[in-house]
């Protein structure tokens, strides 16, 4: 594991909530390379957490919102601003932005940009995007950044939708391995097959886990490990075991998952990353080899 390679002081700082000095310095060095190396940035995200001060830039680079050539950043940023303004102006002309929250305006912009906007649109129908937007609004201050990062991340996540059946299967297998008693209970009350795993994977647990710590899971996804959501799901369920074992139906299980405290969310994220690292930090789900 990467943490074993660092000294005691770095480990101590990380445990008490400070970003490792070595990690921050390493990232700053990577961000000074010309041109920037995308593979190195991905590896950094997989090994460490991205400091909040650098997350805006790093995520934009990983999502292709900004190019790897730093000299082009100013020009591309202006183009993004212009496209954002054009989308917003179009919605204003259509009077779609009247009396709806900013998060729904961003969904409408995404729908317009993708040719899916209708006059009688339910802007919360794109639940995954809507939840991701609301989380991005926590992490970033500027509307333009929020829109492009939410759009980029949601579009990125959609590329993995073909993997969802394998992810669900992997979740069941890992849960049975980690806690067979909980697995049997969920099967007995017919909750295992009815958990909204596809919805949780679609929004990457936005709106479920506290936004303060959720960014650390998203760092890994940005780095290419969509499979970390499997570990997130299993750790959530096992962390709520004492409550779930008293549930008699799937609605009760979902209610407990939807009411995770900020303190428990931090514990869950820490355990998720640890378990994911112990399993070799897998990136994708592959078919089981045939016997």
> Computed over its alpha carbons, how large is the radius of gyration of the chain?
20
**Residue 30 falls inside a structural domain:** yes
Tens digit of pLDDT for each residue in 51-83?
Answer: 999 999 999 999 999 999 999 999 999 999 999
| C-alpha closest to that of 281 among 244, 228, 241 | 228
What integer pLDDT is reported at residue 116 of this predicted model? Answer: 87
Looking at the structure, tell me whether residues 173 and 144 fall in a common domain.
no
Looking at the structure, tell me whether residues 269 and 257 fall in a common domain.
yes
**Residue 125 falls inside a structural domain:** yes
What integer pLDDT is reported at residue 125 of this predicted model? Answer: 75
| C-alpha closest to that of 274 among 224, 216, 221 | 216
Looking at the structure, tell me whether residues 217 and 189 fall in a common domain.
yes
**Residue 289 falls inside a structural domain:** no
Looking at the structure, tell me whether residues 152 and 165 fall in a common domain.
no
Looking at the structure, tell me whether residues 257 and 166 fall in a common domain.
yes
| Domain total of the chain | 3
**Residue 94 falls inside a structural domain:** yes
Rounded distance, CA 248 to CA 253, Å?
Answer: 8
Of 45, 62, 79, at which residue does a domain stop? 62
Phi, psi of 156 (to 5 degrees): -65, -45
The residue range of the domain holding 50 is 2-62
Looking at the structure, tell me whether residues 48 and 87 fall in a common domain.
no
Residue with tokens 């909530």: 17
* CB-based burial, 182-199: b 16+ in 10 Å, e otherwise: bbebbeebebbeebebee
Looking at the structure, tell me whether residues 202 and 239 fall in a common domain.
yes
Residue with tokens 């050539």: 69
What integer pLDDT is reported at residue 5 of this predicted model? Answer: 38
CATH number at residue 229: 1.10.472.80
Burial class (CB in 10 A: 0-12, 13-18, 19+), 51: middle
CATH number at residue 19: 1.10.10.750
What integer pLDDT is reported at residue 285 of this predicted model? Answer: 66
Of 115, 143, 158, at which residue does a domain stop? 158
Which residue stretches of the chain have pLDDT < 50? Answer: 1-19, 287-291
Of 139, 158, 177, at which residue does a domain stop? 158
Burial class (CB in 10 A: 0-12, 13-18, 19+), 178: middle
The torsion region of residue 6 among left (phi > 0), alpha (psi -120 to 50) and beta comes to beta
What is the SS3 assignment for the chain? CHHHHCCHHHHHHHHCCCCCHHHHHHHHHHCCCCCCCHHHHHHHHHHCCCCHHHHHHHHHHHCCCCCCCHHHHHHHHHHHHHHHHHHHHHHHHCCCCCCCCHHHHHHHHHHHHCCCCCCCCCCCCCHHHHHHHHHHHHHCCCHHHHHHHHHHHHHHHHCCHHHHHHHHHHHHHHHHHHCHHHHHHHHHCCCHHHCCHHHHHHHCCECCECHHHHHHHHHHHHHCCCCHHHHHHHHHHHHCHHHHCCCCCHHHHHHHHCCCCHHHHHHHHHHHHHHHHHCCCCCCCCCCCCC
**Residue 213 falls inside a structural domain:** yes
CB-CB contact of 33 with 69 (8 Å): no
């Amino acid at each position: 594991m990467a943490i074993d390679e660092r000294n005691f002081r770095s480990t101590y700082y990380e445990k008490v909530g400070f970003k490792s000095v070595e990690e921050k310095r390493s990232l700053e060095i990577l961000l000074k390379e010309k041109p920037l190396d995308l593979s190195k940035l991905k590896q950094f995200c997989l090994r460490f957490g991205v400091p909040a001060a650098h997350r805006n830039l790093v995520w934009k680079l990983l999502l292709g919102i900004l190019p790897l050539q730093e000299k082009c950043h100013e020009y591309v940023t202006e183009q993004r601003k212009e496209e954002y303004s054009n989308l917003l102006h179009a919605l204003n002309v259509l009077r779609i932005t009247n009396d709806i929250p900013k998060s729904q305006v961003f969904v409408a912009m995404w729908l317009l940009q993708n040719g899916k906007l209708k006059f009688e649109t339910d802007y919360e129908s794109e639940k995954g995007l809507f939840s991701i937007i609301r989380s991005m609004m926590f992490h970033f201050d500027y509307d333009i950044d929020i829109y492009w990062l939410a759009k980029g991340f949601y579009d990125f996540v959609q590329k993995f939708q073909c993997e969802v059946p394998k992810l669900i299967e992997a979740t069941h297998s890992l849960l049975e391995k980690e806690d067979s008693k909980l697995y049997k209970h969920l099967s007995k009350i017919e909750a295992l097959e009815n958990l909204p795993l596809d919805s949780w994977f679609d929004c990457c647990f936005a709106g479920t886990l506290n936004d303060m710590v959720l960014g650390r899971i998203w760092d890994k996804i940005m780095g290419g490990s969509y499979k970390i959501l499997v570990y997130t799901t299993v750790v959530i369920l096992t962390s709520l075991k004492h409550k779930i074992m008293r549930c008699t139906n799937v609605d009760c299980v979902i209610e407990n998952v939807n009411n995770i405290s900020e303190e428990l969310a931090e514990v869950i994220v820490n355990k998720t990353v640890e378990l994911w690292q112990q399993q070799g930090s897998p990136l994708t789900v592959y078919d089981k080899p045939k016997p």
